[in-house]
């Protein structure tokens, strides 16, 4: 039954994707998934996820959220899909939403007390490009346009900083490369708190409950949604004009979920068409199966497929056999 | 020898058994009833030239043996069916548990995880296939560059090219069988290629798939073609290839005692048969080592094929690379006229170009005759340098195919070298034209240069001893040749008596000893 449900869901996704094409994924695929097994608050009695200490949990069957937080999210009212329309909402004493999510993923907002520290770090590391008020730099003022960071949500800030892509080594390069992060996770959190204090927005920083993930669903969804750019083995590959889909083998679960929800760079935003359950499954598949592939057949050769295999066959296989014939045969 | 006396001692028994012991006795028994001694003697005395490059074709023969043996093993476990089923929940590879897959895909991953030696056999089969096609190409290059295809061997050249086409075809069909994401993508491209054939394209596609792609029958059909029809044709043609080789005798490089009228080399028994058997085990060993140590086509990581899914960085096996490469570098030229679409961006690279390539390959013996007007019999091979135009053409041709082969991994190259994919693509387009055009004259002039130093070939360089005379003049004297390099007349080594005894010498008069090697008349 579970399998059938999963299969039906998968096919619904496939039909949806096939019809509308990649460009319209986010908005158009929503109707196909909106009714797909929503998790109701009443079912959450055995929840593994709990709100942060000192906050009040609210399990709201209507997924009601304060109007101030709806903003852009009102376009996609898919429940449990990375927006505050989620089955678990955690409020602090002052009624501020500090976390939301469900069994699969809990999205946390960084503590607002970190904002003053974050402001200092922001001015040191980010302001020269993104502007002192995080409202970006217009193309007319500089060689390139640096995006406004206000209203992007803490997950965006956290993703770019913890993957080391920001601060960028060369702000003019086509695509910021992943590198050793300059700021530690705590500092990234602080900057996220500061930017979020300017204009509160979702998504929060996701913590993924990969333990309960369904790797099979993850594999299916990965093949459908991700393999076209990141390759089926997750090694990444070149895209047009110097851009590329990076390797996924080093990404942490939080980073994978963030990327799916915010769509960094060329990547589409998978907010409307993937539920939190599905994001969790993909995340688990990426960080468990792809990062540590099951290479039972010998040396894996980096998942490069027939290119590496052909190289081995020509260089080692036939090459060594030619040397053998040279050894066995006469040379004159 | 007195056969009448009853042998008593061990020694006597041995002597009574004759020079070949019990084996000889058994052969004797068979010969008296079937009379095969004469044919067997001819077979055992068959002379094979010893040059190492003549053994390249044997790599193909023996890797084909590996393919047959491992392939039979695989058919015991493979289920050629696209019917859907559910992977058991206790399957060892977690991400596929409970997944809905085809029986073809399940039987493939099942034999990889659950069948003893199954994965080894699968991998050996795949590696042997890569080596099989590679050895055919290398062997073909040897035949081409030494002019072994010339009269009277044009027919065998045709058989060889046909074998190459069949090998590539069967490799593709086998690659398509597991029904994983990568192989399904390959079938999808094959479908597009079929559709791009003018006039009959859509009918061909409908015929192959029993309807529209992907249908539910293509794996069954590919399976029976892969395991029965094409291997049967390959076996028949290999028989013809070897039969023609024996009938027409092997070519040889010019050298001491070698003429157009004889064959110099080792006899089948006791020399060649053991050499070639050893080589068989070398090829088996290479396939087994690769199959055991290097992973190939881990289909469980790719998952079941669905028509809506696609993975980036998917390439065909190496021997289809030149087609994939040309598909990539070809500009998107598509014409819509009078209600018809001519998808030249697919038709040219995937239908017209391979047609040209294989037609040139087939017709090469006659194409060359048009230029050389050479209608003579040739049993002595050319050295590539001595036929500079043919060598230059061959190098340019292979250079073009090599560039197209490299172009089939534009994305991997761009990613590996951190350059723009667009740059790599345009570079490949340019190189397609530039490299062959440069390769031809460069090869030609290298050949001409090499012709000058031909006589020193195969000899080690001799040191020059520089001497200053009393007048202060410097003279460079070549030192004595290293042992074995000087020209020397060889003593005639008597052929071992167990090969030529009196009885045989009468029958095989043409077997004479000359300079220590056996010589057979043509």
> Smallest Cβ distance to B295: which of A298, A329, A332?
A298
Residues 433-472, chain B, touching A (beta carbon < 8 A) = 458
Question: In this structure, is residue A309 part of a structural domain?
Answer: yes
**CB hemisphere CA count around B361 (13 angstroms):** 23
Q: With contacts defined as CB-CB under 8 Å, which chain A residues touch B127?
A: 313, 317
pLDDT confidence bin for A182, thresholds 50/70/90: very high
Mean pLDDT of B299-328: 91
Please report, rounded to a whole number, the percentage of residues in chain B having pLDDT higher than 70. 89
Residue B1 has pLDDT above 60, yes or no: no
Contact B478, B464 (CB under 8 A): yes
* For A301, nearest residue in chain B (alpha carbons): B295
pLDDT value at B123 more than 80 = yes
pLDDT mean across residues, chain A: 78
Residue A94: pLDDT over 50 = yes
Contacts across the A-B interface (CB distance below 8 Å): 226
Q: Confirm if B291 and B120 have CB atoms less than 8 A apart.
A: yes
Nearest to A215 among B95, B293, B420 (CB): B95
Q: How confident is the model at residue B109 (pLDDT cuts 50, 70, 90)?
A: very high
* Distance between A319 CA and the closest CA of chain B, angstroms: 9
Backbone angles phi and psi of A63, in degrees to 5:
55, 35
Other Cβ atoms closer than 10 A to B451: 12
Residue A40 has pLDDT above 60, yes or no: no
pLDDT of residue A192: 94
Write out chain A residues lying below 8 Å of B296, CB-based. Answer: 297, 309
pLDDT greater at residue A83 or residue B401: B401
- Asked if A203 and A172 touch (Cβ cutoff 8 Å), the reply is no
C-beta of residue A181 within 8 angstroms of C-beta of residue A162: yes
Host domain of residue A304: 2-37+296-330
* Lowest mean pLDDT across B17-21, B203-207, B484-488: B484-488
Cβ contact B182–A218 (<8 Å): no
Other Cβ atoms less than 10 A from the Cβ of B255: the count is 14
pLDDT band of B60, cuts 50, 70, 90: very high
Q: What does the mean pLDDT of chain B come to? A: 87
B425 close to A (CB below 8 A): no
B507 against B174, higher pLDDT = B174
In chain B, which residues have their Cβ closer than 8 Å to the Cβ of A331?
Answer: 51-52, 458
Q: Which of A280-294, B292-306, B461-475 has the lowest mean pLDDT?
A: B461-475
* pLDDT average, residue stretch A258-268: 91
| pLDDT at residue B181 is higher than 90 | yes
Name the pLDDT band for A230 (thresholds 50, 70, 90): very high
- pLDDT for the residue B219: 95
Q: Are strands A205-208 and A56-59 parallel, antiparallel or unpaired?
A: unpaired
Domains identified in chain A, total number:
1
**Nearest CB to A321; choose among B87, B131, B420:** B131
Name the residue among A235, A239, A325 with its Cβ closest to that of B55.
A325
Report residue B341 as tokens. Answer: 């679409």
CA angle, B399 as apex, B395 and B405 as ends, to 5°? 145
Task: Please tell me the least confidently modeled range out of B7-16, B113-122, B170-179.
Answer: B7-16
DSSP B403-429: HHHHHTTHHHHHHHHT--HHHHHHHHH
Which of B312, B328, B409, B456 is the best residue to mutate to test the A interface, defined by the most A CB atoms within 10 Å of its own CB?
B312
CA distances from A148 to A21, A255, A263, B254, B470 (A): 28, 21, 15, 78, 89
Query: Is the pLDDT reported for residue B55 higher than 70?
Result: yes
B411:A237 CB<8 A:
yes
Average pLDDT of B375-397? 93
* B284: CB partners within 8 A, 6+ apart: B62, B65, B66
Closest CA to B344 of B464, B238, B193, B466: B193
Neighbours of B189 (CB within 10 A): 19
Please tell me the number of Cα atoms within 13 Å of B419 on its side-chain side.
10
Dihedrals φ, ψ of B381, to 5°? -80, 155
What pTM was computed for the model? 0.83
What ranges in B146-180 are assigned the alpha helix state H?
154-176
Mean pLDDT computed over B219-239: 96
Separation between Cα atoms, residue B305 and residue A205, nearest integer Å: 34
Measure CB to CB from residue A215 to each of B94, B278, B283 and give the nearest one.
B94
The shortest C-alpha distance from B218 to chain A (Å) reads 22
Give yes or no for a contact between B350 and B193, defined as CB atoms under 8 angstroms apart. yes
Asked if B81 and A271 count as a contact pair (C-beta separation under 8 A), the reply is no
pLDDT band for position B502 (cuts 50, 70, 90): very low
Measured between beta carbons, which residues in chain A are less than 8 angstroms from residue B295?
295-301
- Quick one: pLDDT at residue A170? 82
CATH superfamily of B48-309+320-382: Cytochrome Bc1 Complex; Chain C (1.20.810.10)
- Contacts with B392 (C-beta within 8 Å, 6 or more apart), sequence order: B439, B440, B441, B443, B444, B447
Q: What is the DSSP letter of A114?
A: G
Q: Over range B61-74, report the average pLDDT.
A: 96
Q: pLDDT class for B360, splitting at 50, 70, 90?
A: very high
Of A228, A242, A297, the CB nearest to B312: A228
Higher pLDDT, B222 or B512: B222
Return the minimum-mean-pLDDT range out of A100-104, B113-117, B496-500. B496-500
Question: In sequence order, what are the residues at sequence separation of 6 or more whose Cβ sits closer than 8 angstroms to the Cβ of residue A163?
Answer: A178, A181, A251, A255
Q: How far is B22 from chain A (nearest CA, A)?
A: 31
How wide is the angle at C-alpha B233 spanned by C-alphas B231 and B239, nearest 5°?
100
Residue of B nearest to A223 (CA): B309
For chain B, the straight-line distance linking the first and the last C-alpha, in angstroms and rounded, comes to 37
Task: Show residues of chain B in contact with A304, CB under 8 Å.
Answer: 313, 412
| pLDDT tens by residue, B324-337 | 999 999 999 998 88
- pLDDT score of A307: 82
Inter-chain touch B52–A328, beta carbons under 8 Å? yes
**Radius of gyration of the CA atoms of chain A, in A:** 23
Asked which of A24-33, A164-173, B318-327 is least confident by mean pLDDT, the reply is A24-33
Looking at per-residue pLDDT, the higher value among A298 and B139 belongs to: B139
Confidence band for A12, pLDDT divided at 50, 70 and 90: very low
User: Which one is predicted more confidently, B423 or A129?
Assistant: B423
State residue A86's pLDDT score.
Answer: 78
Report how many helices (DSSP H) and strands (DSSP E) chain B contains, helices first.
20, 10
Residue B199 has pLDDT above 60, yes or no: yes
Among partner residues B127, B290, B421, which is closest to A238 by beta-carbon distance?
B421
Give the nearest partner residue to A216 out of B53, B97, B421, using CB atoms: B97
Please list the residues that pair with B102 across neighbouring strands: B84
Q: Which residues have C-beta within 8 Å of that of residue A46, sequence separation ≥ 6?
A: none
Q: Grade residue B509 by pLDDT with cuts at 50, 70 and 90.
A: very low
User: Do the Cβ atoms of B317 and A309 come within 8 Å?
Assistant: yes
pLDDT at B441 over 80: yes
Interface test with A, best of B100, B125, B292, B295 (most A CBs within 10 A): B295
More confident residue, A212 or B138: B138
Distance between CA atoms of residues A288 and A294, nearest Å: 10
Q: Cβ contact (<8 Å) for B422 and A241? A: yes
- 3-class SS of residue A244: strand
The alpha-carbon gap from A73 to the nearest alpha carbon of chain B, in Å, equals 29
CA distance B509 to B521: 10
Chosen for mutation from B94, B184, B186 (greatest number of chain A CBs closer than 10 Å) is B94
pLDDT recorded at residue A62: 55
- For residue A68, is pLDDT > 80? no
Q: What is the mean pLDDT of residues B50-79?
A: 95
CB contact under 8 A, B316 and A235: no
Q: Is residue A240 part of a domain?
A: no
What's the gap between Cα B234 and its chain centre? 13
In angstroms, the separation between the Cα of residue A295 and the nearest Cα of chain B is 7
Alpha-carbon distances, residue B404 vs A282, A307, A321, B351 (angstroms): 36, 13, 25, 15
Query: Do the Cβ atoms of B87 and B106 come closer than 8 Å?
Result: yes
pLDDT-derived band at A298 (thresholds 50, 70, 90) equals confident
Alpha-carbon span A86 to A73, nearest angstrom: 12
Cα pseudo-dihedral B187, B192, B196, B199, rounded to 10: 80
pLDDT at A145: 63
DSSP per residue, B316-333 = --GGGHHHHHHHHHS---
Per-residue pLDDT tens digits for A25-37: 333 333 333 333 3
Helix, coil or strand: residue B519: strand
Give residue A87's pLDDT: 77
**pLDDT > 90: percent of chain B:** 64
Q: What are A275-291's pLDDT values in tens digits?
A: 899 999 999 999 999 99
On whether residue A172 sits in a domain, the answer given is no
Surface of B (475-514) touching A: CB under 8 A: none
Question: How far A187 CA lies from chain B's nearest CA (Å)?
Answer: 30
Closest to B178 in 3D by CA, of B75, B227, B76, B105:
B105
Q: Give the other-Cβ count within 10 Å of A322's Cβ.
A: 18
**pLDDT digit string, tens, across residues B146-168:** 999 998 999 999 999 999 999 99
Question: Given pLDDT bands bounded at 50, 70 and 90, which one contains residue B506?
Answer: very low
Question: How far is the alpha carbon of B286 from chain A, nearest alpha carbon, in Å?
Answer: 7
pLDDT surpasses 60 at A317: yes
B301–A232 CB contact, under 8 Å: yes
- pLDDT score, position B169: 96
User: Which of A193-197, A320-324, B439-443 tops mean pLDDT?
Assistant: B439-443
Note the pLDDT of residue A69.
53
Give the pLDDT confidence score for residue B195 in this predicted structure: 93
Q: Identify the CA nearest to B312 among candidates A197, A230, A207, A107.
A: A230
């Amino acid at each position: 039954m579970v399998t059938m449900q999963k299969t039906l869901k998968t096919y619904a996704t496939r039909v949806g994707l096939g019809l509308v094409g990649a460009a319209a994924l986010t908005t158009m695929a929503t109707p196909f998934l909106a009714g797909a097994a929503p998790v109701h608050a009443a079912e959450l009695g055995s929840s593994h996820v709990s709100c942060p200490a000192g906050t009040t949990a609210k399990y709201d069957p209507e997924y009601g959220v304060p109007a101030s937080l709806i903003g852009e999210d009102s376009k996609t009212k898919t429940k449990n899909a990375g927006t505050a329309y989620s089955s678990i909402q955690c409020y602090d004493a002052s009624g501020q939403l500090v976390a939301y999510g469900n069994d699969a993923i809990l999205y946390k907002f960084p503590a607002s007390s970190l904002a003053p520290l974050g402001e200092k770090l922001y001015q040191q590391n980010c302001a020269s490009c993104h502007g002192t008020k995080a409202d970006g730099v217009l193309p007319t003022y500089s060689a390139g346009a640096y995006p406004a960071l206000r209203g992007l949500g803490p997950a965006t800030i956290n993703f770019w900083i913890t993957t080391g892509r920001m601060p960028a080594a060369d702000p003019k390069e086509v695509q910021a490369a992943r590198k050793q992060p300059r700021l530690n996770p705590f500092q990234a959190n602080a900057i996220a708190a500061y930017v979020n204090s300017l204009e509160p927005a979702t998504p929060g920083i996701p913590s993924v409950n990969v333990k309960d993930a369904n790797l099979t669903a993850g594999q299916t969804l990965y093949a459908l949604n991700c393999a076209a750019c990141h390759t089926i083995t997750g090694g990444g590959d070149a895209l047009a004009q110097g851009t590329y889909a990076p390797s996924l083998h080093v990404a942490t679960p939080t980073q994978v979920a963030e990327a799916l929800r915010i769509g960094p760079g060329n990547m589409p935003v998978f907010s409307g068409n993937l539920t939190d359950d599905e994001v969790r499954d993909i995340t688990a598949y990426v960080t468990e199966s792809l990062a540590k592939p099951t290479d039972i057949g010998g040396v894996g050769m980096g998942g490069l497929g027939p290119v590496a295999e052909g190289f081995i066959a020509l260089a080692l296989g036939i090459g060594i056999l030619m040397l053998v014939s040279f050894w066995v045969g006469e040379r004159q | 020898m007195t056969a009448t006396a009853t042998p008593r001692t061990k020694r006597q028994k041995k002597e009574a058994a004759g020079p070949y012991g019990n084996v000889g006795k058994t052969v004797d028994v068979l010969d008296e009833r079937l009379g095969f001694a004469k044919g067997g003697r001819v077979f055992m005395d068959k002379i094979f030239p010893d040059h190492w490059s003549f053994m390249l074709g044997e790599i193909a023969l023996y890797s084909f043996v590996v393919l047959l043996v491992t392939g039979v093993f695989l058919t015991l476990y493979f289920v050629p069916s696209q019917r859907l089923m559910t992977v058991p929940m206790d399957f060892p590879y977690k991400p596929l548990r409970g997944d809905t897959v085809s029986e073809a895909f399940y039987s493939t991953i099942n034999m990889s995880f659950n069948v003893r030696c199954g994965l080894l056999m699968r991998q050996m089969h795949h590696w042997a296939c890569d080596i099989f096609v590679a050895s055919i190409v290398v062997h073909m290059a040897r035949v081409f560059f030494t002019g072994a295809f010339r009269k009277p061997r044009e027919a065998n050249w045709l058989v060889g090219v046909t074998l190459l086409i069949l090998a590539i075809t069967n490799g593709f069909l086998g690659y398509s069988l597991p029904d994983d994401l990568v192989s399904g993508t390959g079938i999808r491209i094959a479908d597009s290629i079929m559709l791009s054939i003018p006039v009959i394209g859509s009918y061909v596609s409908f015929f192959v798939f029993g309807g529209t792609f992907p249908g539910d029958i293509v794996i069954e059909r590919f399976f029976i073609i892969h395991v029965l029809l094409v291997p049967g044709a390959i076996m028949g043609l290999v028989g013809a290839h070897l039969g023609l080789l024996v009938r027409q005798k092997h070519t040889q490089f010019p050298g001491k005692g070698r003429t157009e009228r004889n064959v110099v080399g080792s006899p089948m028994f006791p020399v060649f048969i053991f050499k070639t058997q050893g080589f068989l085990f070398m090829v088996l060993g290479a396939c087994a080592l690769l199959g055991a140590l290097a992973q190939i086509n881990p289909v469980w990581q790719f998952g079941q094929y669905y028509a809506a899914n696609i993975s980036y960085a998917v390439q065909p096996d190496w021997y289809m690379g030149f087609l994939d490469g040309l598909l990539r570098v070809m500009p998107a030229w598509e014409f819509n006229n009078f209600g018809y679409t001519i998808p030249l961006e697919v038709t040219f690279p995937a239908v017209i170009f391979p047609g040209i390539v294989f037609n040139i390959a087939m017709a090469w013996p006659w194409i060359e005759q048009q230029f050389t007007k050479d209608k003579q019999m040739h049993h002595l091979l050319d050295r590539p340098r001595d036929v500079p135009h043919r060598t230059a053409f061959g190098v340019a041709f292979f250079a073009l195919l090599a560039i197209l082969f490299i172009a089939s991994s534009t994305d991997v190259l761009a990613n590996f070298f951190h350059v723009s994919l667009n740059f790599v693509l345009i570079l490949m387009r340019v190189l397609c034209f530039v490299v062959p055009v440069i390769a031809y004259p460069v090869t030609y002039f290298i050949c001409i240069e090499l012709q000058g130093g031909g006589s020193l070939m195969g000899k080690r360089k001799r040191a020059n001893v520089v001497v200053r005379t009393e007048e202060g003049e410097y003279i460079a004297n070549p030192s004595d040749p290293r042992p074995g390099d000087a020209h020397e007349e060889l003593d005639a080594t008597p052929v071992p008596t167990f090969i030529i005894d009196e009885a045989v010498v009468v029958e095989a008069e043409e077997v004479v000893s000359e300079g220590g090697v056996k010589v057979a008349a043509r």
